[in-house]
Structure 1
Amino acid sequence: MSRVRPEDWRPQGVDNLEPRAWEALRQVKRSTLVTAGAGAGKTEFLAQKATYLLQTGLCPAPKRILAISFKRDAARNLAERVAKRCPPEQARRFISYTFDAFAKSLVDRFRAAIPDGYRPPEDYRIVMPRRQDYRDFLDAQGFHGVNADQLERAVARARLPVADEGSPLPPVVAAYWRAQYNNQDDVLLSFAMINRLVELLIRENPSILKALHATYPIVFLDEFQDTTFAQFQLLCTAFDGSEAVFTAVGDDKQRIMVWAGAMPDGFAQFGQHFAAQRISLICNWRSHEDLVRIQHVIASRIDPNVEEPEARADRLVDGEVAAIWEFGMEEEESDCLARWIEREVQAGNVEPHDVAILVRMRADEVEGQLSAAFEDRGLRLRNVARNVGDIAIQDLLGEDLAQILLRLLRLGATSRSPENWNAALLDLQFLEAVDPDDEAGQQLLQWRLQKFVREMRRILRDLEPIPDSAAAVAQAALDFVGLKALRQAFPSYQRQPDFDRVWNGFKLLLQESLENAETWSGALDDFEGFGQIALMTIHKSKGLEFHTIIFYGLDNQTWWSLTPNRLEELNSFFVAFTRAKQRAFFTLCAERGQPVVWIENLLAPAGVHHIGVADILPD
């Protein structure tokens, strides 16, 4: 593959980049902190910079780019963008992980090198401790003077080995680790603990540290504002002393994970520790001018010095694009929402799956309040926060296993699907580690995929699209992929409980999708959520975008913590509003609570006013 000279390289898949993005892209000598507001195209920027580095040879083979995101779907999205822009032999050198997956891959690969006393067995089990679990431990061990919050933070931050003496916390943390390892047949590790194990692993094994330095001279960090202290410490341990050049992107106005341990001063720490150049992107490619103007009002409350962004999207709708919809009763609210969405869909203004209803929390309760009214209007509301088995629908759809199997089923259910064919070939190439230059190997993959597609089409012809068919169809796709190859390619599936969680969820959701299906293709559309209005929490909406968003519950009961002195809650409000490409509405129901007066006063000068039912649904 011939290289492109850096001065001749052009962006791939987009017309151009804004001047500041060009500056950040071409900075390869020192680390860069790219601050970019909502809609600035942070993921696209990283994809373009990766393409630039790979195609120009500034990241020469066999060296790799390590990209770390916070959510699995974001990591996959970034990898897919690079794969579309680079030939396979280059795209394979772009390694995209979540923080948790990166840490877990190192533990699983180098487990034998973890020092005695902390080395987990091969079949350790991942757990997600709740606050009550920490309380139960403290009560059972008789520890007083330490609460669950303190213990949770200390477990996430304490370096190993933990001293079993000194101030009150270290002995408690040491006892907690012993308790998790107490039964060697069932060792329980949280991702916070896995992070600490990796930090110990690379600190105590210079050869592993050297390998990291040699493999990854370039590191990308997506959504850096959500980085925790422990994650930042791990990065420092892993790359201090190397020549690695970091590119971190994020938006401190979207920092909504402080409650989960995100550093409140992460940008300052990164800039100081890595001597990073700070570059701010100012274009908003998602929202049109009227929405961007309102976003800037909120952003200015968060950061009075923030630059006003340049709106680059066109306004495609008439009428109000932002308002507070006011209702007296919840039943009236539910009926009006259903009627308004029905009208907009029937008018061809928006597709159902391009409308999202965002809630601050308790999505299951909101689903119960809205579903009947939506069903009466022939609308389908999909609560993506709902669990199928032990995994939320939104998390399941972001899993590599689900994406691979879904593409294979799509090939069987349709007569022609070039996009899924190409993606499935890339999946096989990755799973079986076939070199793109190996013509015989590539031909064998194509022959195997053709044979499978013929067989899958026969299976789908023979099996009716009913729930009882789900398990057999899913198993046929999994058998073709091969569990061994899947586990070798994706360390997160190496342990049976981790695999079962996703595999069982996939089968259950496919079964649900077949309950009212007329065709297999229709069932797969249902599986992915086409034709359905998404219901999700604000935290899960981060990184997504929709034509129209409706935030359910701008009242002092739903959002009791939205006060002027709680910056993270205002950040959450900002995130909710910025998901919208064309329209953003909030509902306020007197039966549920009273207005959040200060936020309404903030928005009123920007034109965000109360609207009653008569104006929402004029005759």
Structure 2
Amino acid sequence: MVPGPRAPESVETGVPLVGAEQIARLLGRDLPTAEQRRIIEAPLEPVLVVAGAGSGKTETMAGRVVWLVANGLVEPQQVLGLTFTRKAAGELAERVRLRLRRLARAAAEAGVVLPGRAHLDDDVLGGRPTISTYNAYAASLVRDHALRLGIDPSARLLGEAAQWQLASEVVEAWQEDLEIDAAVSTVVEAVLSLSGALDEHLLDPAAAQDGIARICEDIAATPAGEPPRAPYAEVTRLVGSLAQRSRLLDVVAAYRARKRASDAIDFGDQVALAARLAREVPEVGAAERDRFAVVLLDEYQDTSYAQLSLLSGLFGDGHPVIAVGDPHQSIYGWRGASAGGLERFPTTFRRAPAHGGGPAEVLALSTSWRNDVAVLDAANLVAAPLRAGATRVAVPELAARPTAGPGRVDALLTPTVLDEAQAVAEFVAAHWRAAGHGPGGGRGSAA
């Protein structure tokens, strides 16, 4: 594979850039693959990385940050990394911090001059990358800029229990007939779910009701055939369900009004408000781009429409954004996430005109460090229809690491779910216990 174009040399120091392989040697780590090196040393432009399961994306993202800082291309505090869980954010932050410190010591011992040497241990003085979850970052924007939208930044944040209590009060006080044969708890759950879905799609109840009305009108206007016949039962049930949802949206509107009157917001509100700030207040985006010279986005395929609007509003003007994701692993479809968001990344985050414009570059991580050959063969076979259906972003087959074993795939068909669970538990327990008798006594891991 031909390496990608290198970032410019350090103008301030005149010291040649240090490559990803040399940094790996200084840290005593395995050398990056050609794919990893191309990503780590990519120019300061938007890049999409399609990374399969177990392909070392966290390792590569950490290597990218260390390489940028070590070469003086950015300062640690100019890096923003976003992921979905606090655990993943903590893991990435810890990797970066430890490696920057180790690299500073190793380079000094080896007599290697690094262009960014002055910044390698800046975290002692508070200069460290900002590694956060998507929602926590959105919350910080709301705290800092909510007044620009006429919202009190100190508004009370409702947890799940407080949301339930407030929605329950609204439902129980509702006077109109919802024509729903369900328990109060079921209606409350539906109200909260609908309110969250509206936030994820940046809609208000009235807009959603208009959309439902258009769908119902289109269904009613569809020819019923010759001679005309009654609608199919499934169509009738669908229309009834949509009408029920439209009535529930009135309750959602009342719930939201109650939140505003209580000077309270929930987690969905935070993301929606942050997206509004990104779209409606240009000063917010300008400030964030000045603050963060490089942005790393993890698990990009699981970002919702509201999160996509937030990120593109802030950093969609050719800013150096590197997003990592796998369209085959999207698990948050229930809240608006779509692999289509990942496929649209190259056009949403286009190169800056100064760099020639055009769609962002698409790179790949296709070496699996987690599985043996037979396991990958089975996984690639199962995922083949997904690859065939890809339209904008090609997803490569996963290849085994050089030291991978042959592996083995077992198939099991059991009479009941309980039998299956018992068999899986026994299989994992047997291998997990056996791993505990290896060198050092450390146990293996399993998923």
TM-score category of the 2 structures, normalised to the smaller one: 0.5 to 0.7
Q: Distance in 2 between the 1:204 and 1:339 partners?
A: 56
- Which amino acid is 2:435 matched to? N
User: Which amino acid counterpart does residue 179 of structure 1 have in structure 2?
Assistant: R
Match of 2:87 in 1: 73
The one-letter amino acid of 2:273's match is L
Residues 321 and 190 (structure 1), Cα distance of their counterparts in 2 relative to 1, 3 Å cut: farther
Tell me what 1:140 maps to. Answer: 174
Matched, 1:180 2:269: no
The structure-2 alpha-carbon separation of the partners of 1:250 and 1:344, relative to structure 1 and needing over 3 Å to count, comes to closer
Partner of 1:209: 285
8 Å contact 1:160–1:196 — kept in the other structure? no
CA contact (8 A) 1:227 1:262 kept: yes
Which residue among 368, 373, 377 is the counterpart of 1:284?
368
Of the candidates 167, 189, 200, which is equivalent to residue 156 of structure 1? 200
> Which residue of structure 1 lines up, in the alignment, with residue 340 of structure 2?
265
Q: How does 1:480-519 map to 2 (within 5 A)?
A: none
| One-letter code aligned to 2:320 | V
Tell me, which stretches of 5 or more residues in structure 2 are unaligned? 1-11, 101-119, 181-189, 214-245, 351-359, 389-393
Change (3 A) 1:288 1:350: farther
Tell me by how many angstroms 1:330 deviates: 6.7
Superposed counterparts of 1:539-578, under 5 Å: 547-549=445-447
Work out the CA distance in 2 between the residues paired with 1:164 and 1:307. 38
Partner of 2:241: none
Q: What is the one-letter code of the residue matched to 2:62?
A: A
Q: Give deviations 1:40-84, integer Å, cap 9, x for gaps.
A: 1111111111111111111147x5111110111111111111112
- Most deviating of 273-282 and 136-145: 136-145
User: How much does 1:212 deviate?
Assistant: 1.0
Q: How does 1:32-111 map to 2 (within 5 A)?
A: 32-60=47-75, 64-86=78-100, 87-89=120-122, 92-111=127-146
With the length of structure 1 as denominator, give the TM-score of the two structures.
Answer: 0.49
| Residue-by-residue CA offset, 1:124-161 (whole Å, 9 max, x unaligned) | 3333767x959975993749699756544223323689
1:99 deviation in Å? 0.5
Code of the residue aligned with 2:340 in structure 1: it is D
Given that 1:64 and 1:94 are in contact with CA atoms closer than 8 Å, whether structure 2 keeps it comes out as: yes
Task: Report the alpha carbon displacement of residue 251 of structure 1 after superposing the two structures with TM.
Answer: 0.7
| Residues 30/162 of structure 1: CA separation in 2 closer, same or farther (3 Å cut) | farther
**Structure 1 pair 334–236 and aligned structure 2 pair: CA distance change class (3 A):** closer
1:405-436 superposed Cα distances (whole Å, 9 cap, x missing partner): xxxxxxxxxxxxxxxxxxxxxxxxxxxxxxxx
Alpha-carbon distance between aligned partners in 2 of 1:55 and 1:268, rounded to the nearest angstrom: 32
Secondary structure, aligned partner of 2:149: coil
Q: Is the 8 A contact 2:376 2:400 kept in 1?
A: yes
- Structure 2 Cα separation of the partners of residues 49 and 134 of structure 1: 48
Q: What secondary structure is seen at the aligned counterpart in 2 of 1:324?
A: coil
Distance 1:323 1:141, change over 3 A: farther
Gaps of 5+ in 1: 353-529, 532-545, 550-619
The residue number in structure 1 matching 2:268 is 192
Q: Is the Cα–Cα contact under 8 Å of residues 278 and 310 in structure 2 kept in the other structure?
A: no
What is the CA-CA distance between 1:107 and the residue it aligns to?
A: 2.3
Whole-Å separation in 1 of the counterparts to 2:335 and 2:66: 33
In 1, Cα distance between equivalents of 2:80 and 2:152: 26
Secondary structure of 1:220's match?
strand
Partners of 1:34 and 1:249 within 8 A in 2: yes
Q: Residue 322 in 1 paired to residue 355 in 2?
A: no
1:301 and 2:385 equivalent? yes
Query: Could you tell me how far apart the structure 1 residues matched to 2:286 and 2:375 are?
Result: 49
Q: Deviations over 1:483-542 (max 9, x none)?
A: xxxxxxxxxxxxxxxxxxxxxxxxxxxxxxxxxxxxxxxxxxxxxxx98xxxxxxxxxxx
Q: Normalising by the residue count of structure 2, what TM-score does the alignment of the two structures yield?
A: 0.66
* Structure 2 Cα separation of the partners of residues 49 and 145 of structure 1: 56
Paired residues of 2:58 and 2:92 also in contact (CA < 8 A): yes
- Which structure has the higher relative contact order (CA within 8 Å, separation 6+)? 2
Alignment partners' CA distance in 2, 1:134 and 1:24: 50
Q: Please give the secondary structure, in 2, of the residue aligned with 1:219.
A: strand
Asked whether the equivalents of residues 100 and 191 of structure 1 are also in contact (C-alpha less than 8 Å), the reply is yes
User: 1:219 corresponds to which residue?
Assistant: 295
**Do the aligned residues in 2 keep the contact of 1:160 with 1:200 (CA within 8 Å)?**
no
Alignment partner, residue 596 of structure 1: none
Deviation per CA, 1:305-361, whole angstroms, max 9, x where unpaired? Answer: 7433221164569xx732233444677666655655555455x33579xxxxxxxxx
- How far, CA to CA, are the matches of 1:251 and 1:60 in structure 2? 29
Structure-2 separation of matches of 1:183 and 1:154? 20
Aligned-residue identity in percent? 24
Task: Give the whole-Å Cα distance in 1 for the aligned partners of 2:131 and 2:157.
Answer: 24
Aligned to 2:354: none
Structure that is richer in strand per residue: 1
In structure 1, C-alpha distance between the alignment counterparts of 2:286 and 2:316, rounded to whole Å: 11
- 1:34 counterpart SS class: strand
State the shift of 1:267 in Å.
1.7
Counterpart Cα distance in 1 of 2:419 and 2:252? 51
Q: 1:350 to 1:174 in 2, by over 3 A?
A: same
Residue type of the alignment partner of 2:396: E
Matched, 1:119 2:152: yes
1:305-384 equivalences under 5 Å are 306-312=395-401, 314=403, 321-328=408-415, 340=427, 343-344=430-431, 348-350=434-436
For the 8 Å contact 2:19–2:41, the answer to whether it is kept is no
Distance 1:256-1:332 versus aligned 2 partners, 3 A rule? closer
CA distance in 1: counterparts of 2:426 and 2:343, whole angstroms: 48
Please say if residues 42 and 249 of structure 1, whose CA atoms lie closer than 8 Å, have aligned partners that are also in contact. Answer: yes
What are the superposed Cα offsets for residues 580-600 of structure 1, whole Å, 9 maximum, x if unpaired?
xxxxxxxxxxxxxxxxxxxxx
Question: 1:47 touches 1:82 (CA, 8 Å); kept in 2?
Answer: yes
Would the alpha carbon gap of residues 65 and 326 (structure 1) be closer, same or farther in structure 2, given more than 3 Å must change? same
Report SS of the residue matched to 1:265. Answer: helix
Q: CA deviation at 1:291?
A: 1.3
Indicate which of 263, 267, 274 corresponds to 2:349: 274
Post-superposition shift, 1:213? 1.6
